[in-house]
Amino acid sequence: MLHNIIHIIKHEVLLDYRQKFSIAGTVLFAIASVFVVEKVFQEIKVFSWNAIFWILFIFVSLNSMVRSYAKMTNKRYHYYYTLYDPTDLSLAKIVYNTFNLFFLACVLYFFMSWFTIDPITNKPLFFGALFLGSLGIGAMVSFVSILATKGENSHTLLAILSIPLLIPTVLLLLKITAAASGILNDSSITTDFTFLAAIDLLSIGLSLILFPSLWRN
Amino acid sequence: MKSNQIFSILFLLIICPFTIWAQSDTDFLRSTGKIYTVVAVIAILFLGIMYFIFRLDKKITEIEKQIKE
Amino acid sequence: MNIKKSWWKWLCIPLGLYVLLVGMLVPLKPGITSIDNFNATAGQPFSVHVKGYNSNFDIAENLKAFLRLDSSFLIQHALIKVNGPTDLQLQFDIPNFLPTSEDYATGTLILDNEVDGPSILPAVIRLEQANINVQDGNNLWSKTSLNLASVEKGFKFPHRNILNETIRNTFFHVAIWFAMFFLLILSLINSIQYLRLRSFEKDINASSYAEVAILFGLIGIATGSVWAKYTWGAFWISDVKLNMSAVALLIYVAYLILRASIQDIDSRARLSAAYNIFAFVAMIPLIFVIPRMTDSLHPGNGGNPALGGEDLDNRLRMVFYPAIILWSIIGYWLSNLNIRVKKITEQLISKK
């Protein structure tokens, strides 16, 4: 099982490496949005920085996730189905998407702090939240993107279906980043982290359970 | 006029007085311990359920038409 | 209509009459609606004009008024003048010192008489002191003890400050949310059954329940909005409970949009069933966990502190539970009609 998962992830990385322009496109999207933010806000406050960071992150991740399943041509779809167990496939997808999103979040943070300000004082807390957030968002959006690619107008559908699901995660993340940037003095950060982890586990578990029934066609 | 349009007009007609009354502190809906807020809530509930019944009625009319054809 | 088979439909009539009549006609307990003076100074007389609600100050004997601080410290009134059944003029002689080491304290006003029983206006009066002497303050404020008449005459709903008569919304606004949740659970069960049995009937059921649940959710938001306008002063405020209910509604509207955007019947049923299950489970932290973590203005969350217990007492429950059953049955009935219409339409299409 682990062997299969690693194999699929390798395959994905290779595919993305071959289509460099698509990753570069997402990164460029992130940079362009950050630049717009820098131009619109002459002087950005810490609270708005947090809000904008997570909003940009949602859009960047939706943008990159739409590739995740849309890039699968029909032929490869069947190839995957005959080759691997759906549970392995979805686990591999979640792991790959998590690291993909974490990478994008780091890129976004790098450019946000370069162009505007860097309000984060507690870096380990922030990156921990970033990782758990990427995990949760990755699991949810990769599940929803399968649904969205089957419908018409999949790009809009992905946003409509996933944004309401992401709101609890994003609210928790906002709270944690506010604490990490020192504007919120909260002692219940550990409970927030537990909640975030619980939501992550919930969405991973659900996608593992529901993925096989979606995969069969 | 379609039933949807009628309903949106009815809804506006009911909501508008509320917003006008809300301007002052000694308004109608706040009188007698805000009992008329409860009445407004029941009215909205009733309208919502009526809307659903009208929609169902429309669907049934369509089915009847299809059966006649 | 066969009564044995459709008894639950007939149950709506007595339940509905009970909820409407008892819910609207049972009076509230006496309470205090407003006072005209909120600031008192230590060592000076504090006179205040009190407006009661449903109270009988004119026929009541043995009228008492207390001004209570945080826990056990209180003083009794110095003067009481009755102007009418709901109109009272009070005077307190505030002692020279307060039983606190800070320069202010918040006081609760308690009225008591043998006809109405106690009524409370919690934590509204601000008492200030120039000099601090905790020891003397403690002595001065513990001379009287709180002995309330505590009469419970007749069947009455509790009077809550700010809520007043809108406590009756429990039977409509709150009960409709519970009914919505009941319908969503039915929808979830049908979606799970669809993924197991793959019968189209289950798919139709799931979508119909979800539709009526969305209707109930919209009614819940609209009624809550009207109530909020006259209680908080705005149709929408940024409160956890409100945000979470709006998000839950967004999720289910997205479910309907997903259904509408897939043409193939088979994959529509499969994908929407999966999304339904996912959305329901994602909604659990949304509705139950996060509102409980943060404080909320919404009633039922400690927004209305009072002497006697919570926002929902046993007498409210006697109408609240039947109301939940009533709205759940009505929701089930409406979705049942919806299901039948959809099935007939499907049959007509397949015959053609």
In this complex, do B30 and C230 lie within 8 Å of one another by their Cβ atoms? yes
Q: Going by beta carbons, is chain A in contact with chain C, meaning 3 or more pairs sit under 8 Å apart?
A: yes
- Does residue C303 have a pLDDT over 50? no
Strand order in the sheet with C87-93: C31-35, C45-53, C87-93, C79-84
User: Rounded to whole angstroms, what are the CA distances from C236 to B10, B23, B55, C180, C283?
Assistant: 22, 16, 28, 21, 21
B27 torsion bin: left (phi>0), alpha (psi -120 to 50), beta (else): beta
Q: Give me the mean pLDDT over the C83-112 stretch.
A: 85
Q: Please, are residues C318 and C182 in contact by the beta-carbon 8 Å criterion?
A: no
- What totals of helices (H) and strands (E) does chain B contain, helices first? 2, 0
Q: Which one, of C123, C62, C116, C67, lies nearest residue C93 by Cα?
A: C67
Phi, psi (rounded to 5 degrees) for C172: -115, -65
Q: Give me the mean pLDDT over the C333-344 stretch.
A: 94
Residue that the structure tokens 């009633």 belong to: C299
Amino acid at A125: L
* Best A142, A160, A194 residue to mutate vs chain C (most C CBs within 10 Å): A160
Q: Please, are residues A178 and A120 in contact by the beta-carbon 8 Å criterion?
A: no
Q: Please, are residues A128 and A193 in contact by the beta-carbon 8 Å criterion?
A: yes
Burial of C252 (0-12, 13-18, 19+ CB in 10 A): buried
Q: Please, are residues C343 and C204 in contact by the beta-carbon 8 Å criterion?
A: yes
Residue of C nearest to B67 (CA): C348
Q: Which one, of C144, C158, C131, C127, lies nearest residue C46 by Cα?
A: C127
What string of DSSP letters covers A43-58?
Answer: S--HHHHHHHHHHHHH
C232–chain B Cβ distance below 8 A for any pair: no
* Best C259, C275, C284 residue to mutate vs chain A (most A CBs within 10 Å): C275
Q: Please, are residues C17 and C94 in contact by the beta-carbon 8 Å criterion?
A: no
Predicted confidence at residue B69, as pLDDT, reads 81
pLDDT digits (tens, 9 = 90+) for C23-36: 998 888 888 888 88
- Rounded CA gap, C237 and B12, in Å? 21
More confident residue, C59 or B20: C59
What string of DSSP letters covers C10-76?
Answer: HHHHHHHHHHHHHHHHSPBPPEEEEES--EEETTSEEEEEEEEES--TTT-SS-EEEEE-SSS-EEE
CATH of C31-141, one of 2.60.40.10, 2.60.120.920, 3.40.50.620, 3.40.50.11540: 2.60.40.10
Q: Please, are residues A175 and A125 in contact by the beta-carbon 8 Å criterion?
A: no
Quote the mean pLDDT of chain A.
Answer: 84
Predicted confidence at residue A103, as pLDDT, reads 92
pLDDT band of C307, cuts 50, 70, 90? very low
What length is written for chain B?
Answer: 69
- Rounded CA gap, A211 and A207, in Å? 5
Residue of A nearest to C259 (CA): A151
Predicted confidence at residue C191, as pLDDT, reads 95
The token pair at A205 is 């578990």
- Rounded CA gap, C198 and C203, in Å? 8
For chain A, the chains sharing at least 3 beta-carbon pairs closer than 8 angstroms are: C
- Rounded CA gap, C210 and C188, in Å? 9
Q: Which of B34, B41, B56 sits opposite C172 (nearest CB)?
A: B41
- Does residue C300 have a pLDDT over 50? yes
C164–chain B Cβ distance below 8 A for any pair: yes
pLDDT digits (tens, 9 = 90+) for C191-232: 999 999 988 899 999 999 999 999 999 999 999 988 888 888
3-state DSSP assignment of residue C96: coil
Q: What is the largest CA-CA distance in chain A?
A: 55
- Does residue B26 have a pLDDT over 60? no
Q: What is the largest CA-CA distance in chain C?
A: 92
pLDDT digits (tens, 9 = 90+) for B52-69: 999 999 999 999 998 888
- Rounded CA gap, C186 and C212, in Å? 11
Query: In chain C, pLDDT over 70 holds for what percent of residues?
Result: 91
- Does residue A159 have a pLDDT over 50? yes
In this complex, do C166 and B37 lie within 8 Å of one another by their Cβ atoms? yes
- Does residue A90 have a pLDDT over 60? yes
Quote the mean pLDDT of chain C.
Answer: 84
Predicted confidence at residue C302, as pLDDT, reads 42
pLDDT band of C51, cuts 50, 70, 90? confident
> Number of residue pairs across A and C with CB atoms under 8 Å?
83
Predicted confidence at residue C352, as pLDDT, reads 76
List the domain range (segments joined by +) for residue B25. Answer: 3-68
- Does residue A89 have a pLDDT over 60? yes
- What total of structural domains would you count in chain B? 1
- Does residue C110 have a pLDDT over 80? yes
Q: Please, are residues A9 and A96 in contact by the beta-carbon 8 Å criterion?
A: yes
Predicted confidence at residue A18, as pLDDT, reads 79
Q: Which of A164, A195, A210 sits opposite C285 (nearest CB)?
A: A195
B44–chain C Cβ distance below 8 A for any pair: yes
Q: Which pairing describes strands C119-128 and C39-41: parallel, antiparallel, or unpaired?
A: parallel
pLDDT band of A76, cuts 50, 70, 90? low
Q: Please, are residues A54 and A173 in contact by the beta-carbon 8 Å criterion?
A: yes
Predicted confidence at residue B15, as pLDDT, reads 61
Q: Which one, of A143, A174, A121, A177, lies nearest residue A65 by Cα?
A: A143
Neighbouring residues of A140: CB distance < 8 A, sequence distance ≥ 6? A162, A165, A166, A169, A203, A207, C282
- Rounded CA gap, C308 and C310, in Å? 7
- The winner for highest mean pLDDT among A121-135, B3-17, C320-334 is C320-334
pLDDT digits (tens, 9 = 90+) for A33-51: 999 988 888 788 888 888 8
Q: Which of A188, A210, A217 sits opposite C278 (nearest CB)?
A: A210
Predicted confidence at residue C140, as pLDDT, reads 82
In this complex, do C258 and A161 lie within 8 Å of one another by their Cβ atoms? yes
Predicted confidence at residue A75, as pLDDT, reads 64
> Which positions in chain C touch B38 (Cβ < 8 Å)?
24, 165-166, 168-169, 172
- Rounded CA gap, A116 and A110, in Å? 10
Which range is least confidently modeled, A18-32, C99-113, C150-164, C294-308? Answer: C294-308
Residue of A nearest to C262 (CA): A151
C62 torsion bin: left (phi>0), alpha (psi -120 to 50), beta (else): left
pLDDT band of A17, cuts 50, 70, 90? confident
The token pair at B54 is 């009208």
Q: Which of C274, C285, C286 sits opposite A214 (nearest CB)?
A: C274
Handedness of CA A155, C193, C335, C340 (dihedral sign): positive
Q: Give me the mean pLDDT over the A196-205 stretch.
A: 90
- Rounded CA gap, C282 and C259, in Å? 19
Neighbouring residues of C232: CB distance < 8 A, sequence distance ≥ 6? C297
Phi, psi (rounded to 5 degrees) for C86: -125, 25
Q: Give me the mean pLDDT over the A155-184 stretch.
A: 86
For chain C, the chains sharing at least 3 beta-carbon pairs closer than 8 angstroms are: A, B
Strand order in the sheet with C74-76: C39-41, C119-128, C104-112, C64-68, C74-76
Predicted confidence at residue B19, as pLDDT, reads 54
In this complex, do A168 and C247 lie within 8 Å of one another by their Cβ atoms? yes
C297–chain B Cβ distance below 8 A for any pair: no
- Does residue C308 have a pLDDT over 50? no
Residue of A nearest to C271 (CA): A147
- Does residue A155 have a pLDDT over 70? yes
- Does residue C151 have a pLDDT over 80? no
